[in-house]
């Protein structure tokens, strides 16, 4: 194994959103070597977040176009890069972050070796100083939790987000898939992560998910509400994906739950609001909340605002109407990037700033 090739790839991935933190020992190199062949690893840093044809990437790499195309197609099939195939136009390719990107695309590829390499990677990452960045995901409320009295922007409301899309796909949640294989999963539906646009087409084309229609997407969201799942789309106005997350398997929610103030770590313009006098003490909301933001207080509940991430799960099943959603004035909605690429570029710019605090991928994901 040519360690230098994989080290260059690791350094390149570390410049992408979310980074790829180095490890003590060679856990990071072993992980990449299990995913990328040496020619693929050498080609990886020649891609960018911008979509480019094989001819342009071949020029960057100083390789023949035919050889480059074969490598790119193999990498796209393995979920190491994204390919976009439009009829009558050359296929385009782009690099993707390790998370959320390469890791999530290893659906149905969680071999024992890959699982061991992932665990070794996450458990041995070095903590380092990084500038704070916007997250790649945000939280939006369950649609039924938003009252008509509230002013809601289109990208804050799940139905409007669905209406803006033309291509839909659904795929298994790799977090629940990995937990199930490890023997400690939950009984929440596994097929619940949705993709849109070019991502939906890629998932369907490569067999990682199946194409669906808008009505089935709505049905999946209704099932998510019934299963107490938090809606987490890409942190963009035009969303690329929408995850339905549980607090027991989802790396992001698990990380948030371990924080003393999850409300400060999420992008969401809404939060729960409690009318304690209207509470009848049915305790339904205690079972629904993934963040333990609600607790028994005598014969009623109390709301810990610092733990509320604004998912709306408590609101949709509150029989007395004691719980409602309210807009957070201190979080201006206009900061949401226009699309996923804009979000990625913003994150890369922020990552390049002088370090201000410790940020560790293991903390965020697992």
Per-residue pLDDT tens over the stretch 76-123: 999 999 999 988 889 999 999 999 999 999 998 999 999 999 999 999
Cβ atoms of residues 44 and 78 within 8 Å: no
pLDDT of residue 360: 40
Per-residue pLDDT of the chain (366 residues; tens, 9 = 90+): 899 999 999 999 999 999 999 998 899 999 999 999 999 999 999 999 999 999 999 999 999 999 999 999 999 999 999 999 988 889 999 999 999 999 999 998 999 999 999 999 999 998 877 777 889 999 998 877 776 566 666 778 899 999 999 999 999 999 999 999 988 888 999 999 999 999 999 999 999 999 999 999 999 999 999 999 999 999 999 999 999 999 889 988 988 999 999 999 899 889 999 999 999 999 999 999 999 999 999 999 999 999 999 999 999 899 999 999 998 876 555 589 999 999 999 999 998 887 654 444 333 444
Kindly give, in sequence order, each residue whose CB lies less than 8 Å from that of residue 52, ignoring residues fewer than 6 positions away. 92, 93, 94
The C-alpha atoms of residue 338 and residue 269 are separated, in whole angstroms, by 16
CB atoms inside a 10 Å sphere around CB 219: 12
Q: Hey, which residues does 215 pair with through a beta bridge?
A: none
User: pTM for this one?
Assistant: 0.90
| 44 prior amide bond cis, ω within 30 | no
What CATH number was assigned to the domain covering residues 3-133? 1.10.10.10
Q: Dihedral (C-alpha) 133, 79, 138, 226: value to the nearest 10 degrees?
A: -160
pLDDT of residue 293: 96
Domain spans of the chain?
3-133, 143-336
Q: Hey, which residues does 324 pair with through a beta bridge?
A: 273
pLDDT of residue 305: 95
Q: Which long-range contacts (CB under 8 A, 24 or more apart) does 1-10 make?
A: 1/29, 1/33, 1/38, 2/38, 3/29, 5/38, 5/41, 5/42, 6/32, 6/33, 6/36, 6/38, 6/41, 8/41, 8/42, 8/45, 9/36, 9/41, 9/42, 9/44, 9/45
pLDDT of residue 87: 82
């Amino acid at each position: 194994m040519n360690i230098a090739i994989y080290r260059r790839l690791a350094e390149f991935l570390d410049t992408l959103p979310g980074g790829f933190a180095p490890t003590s020992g060679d856990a990071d190199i072993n992980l990449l070597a299990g995913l990328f062949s040496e020619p693929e690893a050498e080609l990886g840093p020649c891609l960018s977040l911008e979509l480019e044809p094989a001819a342009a990437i071949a020029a960057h790499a100083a390789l023949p176009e035919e050889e480059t195309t074969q490598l790119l197609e193999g990498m796209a099939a393995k979920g190491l890069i994204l390919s976009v195939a439009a009829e009558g136009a050359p296929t385009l390719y782009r690099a993707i972050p390790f998370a959320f990107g390469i890791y999530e695309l290893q659906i149905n590829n969680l071999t024992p070796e890959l699982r061991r390499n992932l665990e070794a990677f996450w458990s041995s990452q070095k903590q380092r100083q990084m500038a704070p960045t916007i997250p790649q995901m945000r939280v939006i409320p369950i649609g039924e939790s938003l009252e008509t009295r509230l002013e809601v922007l289109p990208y804050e409301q799940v139905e409007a987000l669905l209406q803006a899309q033309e291509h839909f796909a659904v795929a298994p949640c790799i977090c629940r898939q990995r937990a199930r294989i490890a023997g400690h999963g939950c009984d929440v539906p596994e097929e619940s992560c949705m993709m849109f646009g070019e991502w939906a087409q890629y998932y369907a084309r490569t067999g990682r998910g199946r194409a669906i229609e808008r009505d089935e997407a709505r049905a999946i969201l209704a099932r998510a509400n019934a299963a107490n799942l938090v809606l987490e789309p890409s942190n963009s106005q035009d969303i690329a994906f929408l995850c339905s997350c549980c607090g027991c398997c989802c790396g992001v929610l698990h990380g948030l739950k371990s924080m003393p103030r999850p409300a400060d770590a999420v992008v969401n313009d809404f939060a729960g609001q409690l009318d304690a006098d209207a509470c009848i003490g049915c305790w339904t909301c205690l079972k629904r909340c993934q963040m333990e933001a609600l607790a028994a207080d005598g014969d009623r509940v109390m709301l810990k605002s610092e733990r509320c991430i604004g998912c709306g799960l408590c609101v949709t099943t509150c029989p007395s109407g004691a719980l409602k959603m309210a807009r957070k004035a201190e979080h201006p909605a206009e900061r949401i990037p226009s699309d996923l690429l804009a979000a990625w570029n913003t994150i890369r710019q922020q990552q390049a700033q002088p370090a201000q605090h410790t940020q560790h991928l293991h903390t965020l994901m697992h």
